[in-house]
Structure 1
Amino acid sequence: MRAGIAAVLGVFALNGIVFGSWAPRVPALAAQIGAAEGTLGLSLLGASTGMIAAALLSGSLCARYGARIMVLITAIAGCAVLPVLGMTQSPLQLGLVLVVLGVAVGGLDVAMNVAAVTAIRQSGRAMMPVFHAGFSIGGLLGALGAATAVAFELSPLRHLSIVAVAGAVITVSFSRWIPVEQLRPEAENIGPKRSLVKRPVLWLLGFIALCSSVAEGASVDWSAFFGVHQRGIGEAAAALVYAGFSISMAVARLLGERIERRWGAQRMLIGGATLGAAGLFIAVLVPVPAFTYIGFALAGMGLAYGFPVALELAGAVGRREDGGGGERELGFVTTIAYSGFLLGPPLVGGIASVTNLAVALGITGVIALAIAPLALLAARARRREQQTSQQAVQALHTR
């Protein structure tokens, strides 16, 4: 099982490396295609659009063909598309390529989380936050690689081609060890299929992941900018605000298994939401640069658990009696969550344009805090669903 856990960690890290490699090259890509800020923003929406389009379908494909095959296909596809970004010559081309890349990355995201749920079931360990720490670490490695490429004056095409080749090698090396559930042939016929949209627990878990993604995306996109323009921190020093957020999130996720084993998923979500919101409130309410670093570091720690734990619980509520299942449920929750990455940046930017960035990030803190009551409602909805299922089974046995 250690090989399976290592393989899933490797896939999470690969996804982070892919994201961390192309995102820092956006300025170079913008210069390459001659795009202004507004036009570039429309092009960048392509990635989020592709991810949302792929998420729901990927859950069903994983249920039919297995996570291992889907990880292999989507990871290779993402690596193949990555260098094409360096060949684009217009905003339209960049947007279309990002749609395709978003489809591949979105499919990989769902498949690797399905594989993570399988690894959790087979090992009996609450490792979902740890797996997501692999993504965070991969993102940092990708960003460091991008910085190195810029320092050596590598074009986006050459840099992303190197990343693509390395990513393909990693994919092929790890894919054979990705855990696969051994289901009975008749597993798909066990029990009636419940409509996903009629299950309140899935909507609540989706909103938890949505709030987490909005708050996380806002912190990633605006933390350094906030440090420069609201607290007068220099650009180089402000980069450390984002670094502190990312590192504290990665560390918190690495400790996630121990914390979840001790406190449970519900307390983990409530405590994380409270800490994350408090961090954002500290950053925007205390006009002292030192508290900007402290606030965003606390926000990173608190927001570390919302998204991965929501996905873990989605897999759990979809588990069948034979031990399998959860792929469709996980894809449904992921689809809702991805809309946060799409809506978050323009939401914060729009509020900031009407008021200021401090107010916008403060509202983001309120959104993060909303995870706490949503976690309580989700637990209640899950218990109600379990009681309904038990009553239905009892009714069948009494006939």
Structure 2
Amino acid sequence: MTTGLTEALKSLWSRERRGYVINNRIAVFVVFALNGAAFGSWAPRMPALAESLRAEPGTLGLALLGASVGMVLAASFCGGVVERVGARVGIAVPLLVGAAALPVIGLAGSVAALAGVLFVLGAAVGVVDVAMNVAGVAVERAGGKAIMPVLHAGFSVGAMLGAGGAALAAGQGWSITAHLGVVAVITALVLFAVIRSVPATAAATAEQPAANGKVARRPVLWLLASIALCSAIAEGGSADWSALLLVTEHGMSQGAAALGYAAFSLAMAVARFAGAWTQNRFGAARTLAGGSVLASVGLLLAALLPGGGYPGFVLAGAGLAAAFPIALGLAGAAGRRADGSGGEREIAFVSALAYSGFLLGPPMIGGIAQLTSLSMSFVAVGLTTALIAPAAVAATRSLRRERVAAEEVRPVVPSGTT
């Protein structure tokens, strides 16, 4: 783990033949962190929002659904837009829109108004997510080594910083509007400082069609989407239900139970820093399969073993760390064109299906718990994450077959012709 973390940090400062690439890599890492901070800043203020709106948990949950729906819809339709305008514009415009929406959350006078604001914020985050992954794939291609897990660690770091800032603001008695207004200003200033160093990526033209035909007709993309989907179900379920599991099934206090998801998040962030080294050393399929086994074991420990809550969620966070970034990196590789560009539509397709996991996971766990128990719900989630391993093997094999087929049909230009 220490070696992987060291290699990951070195990769941000490595030197290529054409000069230092620190700007591109760190700029994209910062963008990932900004997107994570956007979520980490407003979500912890939900108690204050509930109090100001006098909303019951069920009603507030419907408002929160607005953010998830916005993310799914935006990711579903933004691939072509990002392909046309490039990753830099695809990041800058929606990130500024999202920053502007943050302080409006505190001004929402009703649950319906809050749902509308969160829908806009979720849509902005969804577009940024696709565009920043496109930029990450461009950086990865330029460097010739896997770096997507390290970039996704930036999201985790940003989320933790945003949550820490939210806790500090709440402790100082700041209003939601004042707190999120400061976050919005900081986000805009940092974005302006780094956006020029983000890869613009080449815009598609009529002479540069998307690779290998229609996106939805390609089995490899469905396999990659299933990997990200299973990971999202487990991550969303752990976020929403881990504390209740630790209270009801392990007898912990509410304060101690809250640390379960904190341990999960910290393990995921650390493992993502080491994920690039692991992927470069063992390959994508082995990294995903190993993480799948680790996450499944961890969730089963948390569900079934007395005293297994903390270690189980640590193992789960570490095991799931690489699933989402590697799946999106492989999706970008599946859309790569001969000129080195491409992948926007493929990343958007996989992202949109994966986001549905954040919608499906929490209610799925709740439904199973209603019929059986919360422990059995997490057993089901653990078995779901086990599906990542065979999907990873099948996806990498399918991607290799596509590449071989593409090489076989590529026309050979006779010597002497122009």
Could you tell me the TM-score, scaled by structure 2's length? 0.91
How far the C-alpha of 1:192 sits from its partner, in A, is: 7.0
Contact 2:302 2:312 in 1 (8 A): yes
Correspondent of 2:315 among 298, 301, 313: 298
Correspondent of 1:362 among 354, 357, 379: 379
How many equivalent pairs are there? Answer: 394
Report what 1:103 is aligned to.
123
Correspondent of 1:19 among 39, 54, 62: 39
Report what 1:331 is aligned to.
348
Secondary structure of the corresponding residue to residue 116 of structure 1? helix
Take 1:192 and 1:366, find their aligned partners in 2: how far apart are those partners? Answer: 34
Correspondent of 2:185 among 158, 161, 165: 165
Correspondence 1:316 to 2:333: yes
Aligned-residue CA RMSD (Å): 1.7
Secondary structure of the corresponding residue to residue 95 of structure 2? helix
Report what 2:26 is aligned to.
6
User: Are residues 192 and 275 of structure 1, via their aligned partners in 2, closer, same or farther at CA, if it must alter by over 3 Å?
Assistant: closer
Take 2:244 and 2:171, find their aligned partners in 1: how far apart are those partners? Answer: 23
Q: Which amino acid aligns with 1:295?
A: G
Correspondent of 1:213 among 232, 248, 260: 232
Q: Which amino acid aligns with 1:380?
A: R
Alignment of 1:156-195 (within 5 A): 156-181=176-201, 188-189=207-208, 194-195=213-214
Report what 2:396 is aligned to.
379
Report what 1:79 is aligned to.
99
Take 1:182 and 1:353, find their aligned partners in 2: how far apart are those partners? Answer: 50
Correspondent of 1:33 among 53, 59, 79: 53
Take 1:16 and 1:298, find their aligned partners in 2: how far apart are those partners? Answer: 22
What do the CA deviations read for 1:212-256 (whole angstroms, capped 9, x no partner)?
100111112111221122111112222221111111110000011
Q: Which amino acid aligns with 1:331?
A: A
Report what 1:117 is aligned to.
137
What do the CA deviations read for 1:183-236 (whole angstroms, capped 9, x no partner)?
7x8674368761111101011101110001001111121112211221111122
Correspondent of 2:71 among 47, 51, 61: 51
How far the C-alpha of 1:275 sits from its partner, in A, is: 0.3
More helix by percentage: 1
User: Are residues 221 and 192 of structure 1, via their aligned partners in 2, closer, same or farther at CA, if it must alter by over 3 Å?
Assistant: closer
Correspondence 1:260 to 2:260: no
Q: Which amino acid aligns with 1:371?
A: I
| Structure 2 spans left out of the alignment, 5+ residues | 1-20
* Greater mean alpha carbon deviation, residues 375-384 or residues 147-156: 375-384
How far the C-alpha of 1:270 sits from its partner, in A, is: 0.3
What do the CA deviations read for 1:76-105 (whole angstroms, capped 9, x no partner)?
010000111100111111111111111100
Take 1:2 and 1:198, find their aligned partners in 2: how far apart are those partners? Answer: 37
Take 1:381 and 1:268, find their aligned partners in 2: how far apart are those partners? Answer: 17
How far the C-alpha of 1:392 sits from its partner, in A, is: 2.9
Take 1:199 and 1:175, find their aligned partners in 2: how far apart are those partners? Answer: 33
Q: Which amino acid aligns with 2:165?
A: G
| Structure 1 spans left out of the alignment, 5+ residues | none
Secondary structure of the corresponding residue to residue 179 of structure 1? coil
Take 2:331 and 2:93, find their aligned partners in 1: how far apart are those partners? Answer: 23
Could you tell me the TM-score, scaled by structure 1's length? 0.95
Take 1:316 and 1:284, find their aligned partners in 2: how far apart are those partners? Answer: 36
Take 2:208 and 2:160, find their aligned partners in 1: how far apart are those partners? Answer: 43
How far the C-alpha of 1:56 sits from its partner, in A, is: 2.5
Take 2:391 and 2:378, find their aligned partners in 1: how far apart are those partners? Answer: 20
How far the C-alpha of 1:383 sits from its partner, in A, is: 2.6
Identity, % of aligned positions:
50
Take 1:188 and 1:351, find their aligned partners in 2: how far apart are those partners? Answer: 50
What do the CA deviations read for 1:338-391 (whole angstroms, capped 9, x no partner)?
100111111111111111111101100011110001111112222332233233
